[in-house]
């Protein structure tokens, strides 16, 4: 009797498995016909992955498939691609891109990235959100990035640059090799911690600085689970959002939220202000609170609830925008200068000449006059 039951169970299992496989194949086939049904040409997608199989296998960077297909099909105004089952329209024609980014931007505000929310509140920053909330927040945060505002933050950056120079001089004095990858990672994180979060990381003196460790971990998780979750959130944001799964580990989230909350509370309790990015977010939060207290009428076009969670989420914006971009730029610039002694000598000559005009001080105005050095950083030398 048990043999018969086991046999029936195994047969049912096999039948269910076969139907599951058939359904999955047909489902993906239907999804992968999206662009064909609309008359849009595109390279043939691979089962399950679409056009991102090599990305998932960590053999290519996120945007490499789109980059490669642009050059392969740049004679076409656009092509249809797939990120897993999600259809992606890859625009090649600059005139169409301008229409989408400028004239018809109201219809193309979403970046197609995970916007955060209940499952992952710190992801709900200006980089990820879209629609009305993005539009209002961008309007309110735009003054943060004006030349005048950046100039007020510059002394903080200059002080950190001096500490970085002392750190490198100390290594040179002790005949130690400078690991430029490590150096620029610490340098960028030190600026982000000071300007974005309002805290000193002391990464040059303390290699075990928790801010540096957690910040580095935010971008490069050692756990395969979190790497898979990040990839899932990036390539299937709608599905990920509906499942309300955390994209950031609670350990990292609690650390950064705790720093922001304690720093904001300290500044408010002791009436401390500072010319940094965090102060701008605090002012947005206070502005929102004052509006509620005074029962002022705010139109739907300008009103935006801005809580402590929003403050913390947008400090992470500074982390996202500033860490890897700045660190990688510094690393590549140092490498290229080492490979091109003549370029290095010309850049050094310009720096010394400009500093001589400003009594040896690298002021905001001085670094703006270093045109050739900026060309080096932009890779245009």
23-69 residue pLDDT tens: 888 998 999 999 999 999 999 999 988 999 898 887 888 889 999 99
Q: Which pLDDT score is estimated for 31?
A: 92
Task: With beta carbons less than 8 A apart as the criterion, state whether 157 and 362 touch.
Answer: no
Model pTM above 0.85: no
Structure tokens belonging to residue 65: 């498939």
Indicate the helix (H) or strand (E) that contains 80.
strand 78-83
Structure tokens belonging to residue 31: 């999804």
Is the pLDDT at 2 greater than 70? The verdict is no
Q: Which pLDDT score is estimated for 296?
A: 47
User: Residue written as tokens 């700045």?
Assistant: 326
Q: Which pLDDT score is estimated for 196?
A: 92
Instruction: For residues 231 and 244, give the distance between their C-alpha atoms in angstroms, rounded to a whole number.
Output: 15
Q: Kindly give the pairing relationship between strand 78-83 and strand 86-91.
A: antiparallel
- Coil, strand or helix: which one is 81? strand
Mean pLDDT, rounded, for 263-268: 94
Select from 3.40.50.300, 1.10.10.10, 1.10.630.10, 2.40.160.20 the CATH code of 140-339: 1.10.630.10
Mean pLDDT, rounded, for 283-292: 72
- The ranges of the chain annotated as CATH 1.10.630.10 are 140-339
Is the pLDDT at 183 greater than 90? The verdict is yes
Structure tokens belonging to residue 199: 């805290």
How far apart are the two ends of the chain, measured CA to CA in Å? Answer: 82
């Amino acid at each position: 009797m048990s043999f018969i039951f086991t046999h029936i169970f195994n047969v049912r299992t096999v039948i269910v498995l076969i139907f599951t496989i058939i359904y999955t194949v047909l489902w993906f086939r239907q999804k992968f016909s999206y662009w064909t049904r609309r008359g849009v040409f595109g390279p043939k997608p691979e089962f399950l992955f679409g056009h991102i199989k090599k990305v998932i296998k960590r053999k290519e960077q996120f945007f490499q498939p789109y980059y490669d297909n642009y050059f392969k099909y740049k004679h076409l105004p656009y092509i249809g691609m797939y990120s897993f089952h999600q259809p992606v329209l890859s625009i090649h024609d600059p005139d169409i891109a301008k229409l989408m980014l400028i004239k018809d931007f109201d219809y193309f505000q979403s970046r197609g990235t995970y916007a955060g929310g209940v499952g992952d509140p710190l992801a709900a920053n200006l980089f990820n959100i879209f629609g009305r909330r993005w539009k209002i927040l961008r309007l309110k945060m735009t003054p943060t990035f004006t030349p005048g505002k950046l100039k007020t933050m510059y002394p903080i950056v200059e002080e950190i640059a001096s500490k970085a120079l002392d750190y490198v001089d100390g290594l040179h004095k002790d005949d130690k090799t400078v690991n430029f990858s490590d150096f620029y990672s610490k340098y960028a994180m030190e600026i982000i911690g000071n300007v974005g979060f309002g805290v000193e990381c002391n990464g040059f003196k303390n290699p075990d600085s928790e801010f540096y460790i957690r910040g580095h971990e935010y971008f490069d998780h050692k756990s395969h689970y979190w790497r898979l979750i990040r990839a899932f959130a990036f390539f299937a944001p709608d599905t990920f959002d509906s499942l309300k799964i955390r994209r950031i580990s609670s350990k990292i989230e609690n650390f950064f939220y705790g720093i922001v909350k304690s720093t904001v509370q300290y500044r408010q309790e002791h009436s401390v202000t500072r010319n940094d990015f965090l102060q701008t977010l605090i002012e947005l939060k206070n502005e929102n609170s004052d509006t509620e207290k005074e029962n002022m009428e705010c139109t739907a076009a300008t009103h935006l609830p801005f809580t402590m969670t929003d403050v913390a989420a947008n400090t992470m914006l500074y982390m996202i925008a500033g860490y890897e971009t700045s660190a990688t730029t510094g690393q590549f610039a140092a490498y290229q200068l080492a490979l091109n002694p003549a370029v290095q000598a010309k850049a050094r000559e310009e720096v010394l000449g400009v500093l001589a005009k400003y009594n040896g001080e690298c002021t905001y105005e001085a670094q703006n006059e270093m045109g050739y050095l900026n060309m080096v950083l932009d890779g245009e030398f």
